Amino acid sequence: MDEARKALDELIQQQGYNYSSVSRLLGRNAAYIQQYIRRGSPRSLDEQDRAVLARFFGVDEKVLGAPDRRSGPVVELVHVPVLSVEASAGHGALAEMESKCSQFGFDEKWLRRLTASKASSLSIIGVHGDSMEPTLHDGDEVMVDLADGQGRLRDGIYVLRMDDALNVKRIAIEPQGRRISVVSDNPAYPSWRGLERRSINIVGRVLWFGRALQ
């Protein structure tokens, strides 16, 4: 293992991250960083990826293999809070959205492709249960746009508050547009049809999910 790979591996371990979470930070597939460190593929980090990693870990790009003659571009990271709560995709979990745990940094340009909302309106929470299989798995992490709720309701996956529990469900606007369905993707779980829009409490729209490789 060359010095750049060794340095990145040590940074990841020392700061309590894992290969898949750092890969997701770069907008790459979950195995990207593991393949780079353990298999030597790619042979070197992309300049943009290296700049994001250097800023995220607070080190000079040269530690990660940048040549001495040049410095990489400055990349501004947008930090999104990771909340120590779970949204049930099963039997329901009591949760408070204000329980902040840590933060995760995302490239600003990448984030803007997902949403125009401010970072203060975004949160990452865990998924608990299997009622949204095969779309979402137990243990997935989802990014929720808290500013995208009842006022812009449309087909998609949302976090709902139901009986003081957070639930991840699919919302489908019924043909005439006056009523909605709340759907569990897993047919083994119930769905609700013909609901009035105002009868559900929307927390926010799910924009993105991350998953650890098994």
Residue 69 lies in a domain: no
Segment 113-132, tens digit of pLDDT: 888 888 888 999 989 899 99
- Structural domain count, the chain: 2
Segment 190-208, tens digit of pLDDT: 999 999 988 899 999 999 9
> Quick one: 111 and 168 in the same domain?
yes
- pLDDT reported for residue 73: 58
CATH number of 41's domain = 1.10.260.40
Domain that holds residue 51: 3-64
The number of beta carbons lying within 10 Å of the beta carbon of residue 174 is 12
Dihedral sign from CA coordinates of 83, 85, 90, 94: negative
Residue 21 lies in a domain: yes
Residue 71 lies in a domain: no
pLDDT band of residue 48 (cuts 50, 70, 90) is confident
Return the amino acid letter for 110. Answer: W
Evaluate if residue 96 carries a pLDDT over 50.
no
- pLDDT reported for residue 72: 53
Question: Where is pLDDT greater, at 131 or 103?
Answer: 131
Q: What is the phi-psi region of residue 182: left when phi exceeds 0, alpha when psi lies from -120 to 50, beta otherwise?
A: beta
- pLDDT reported for residue 212: 76
User: How confident is the model over 52-75, as a mean pLDDT?
Assistant: 77
> Among 18, 42, 64, where does a domain finish?
64
Q: Phi and psi of 80, rounded to 5°?
A: -110, 130
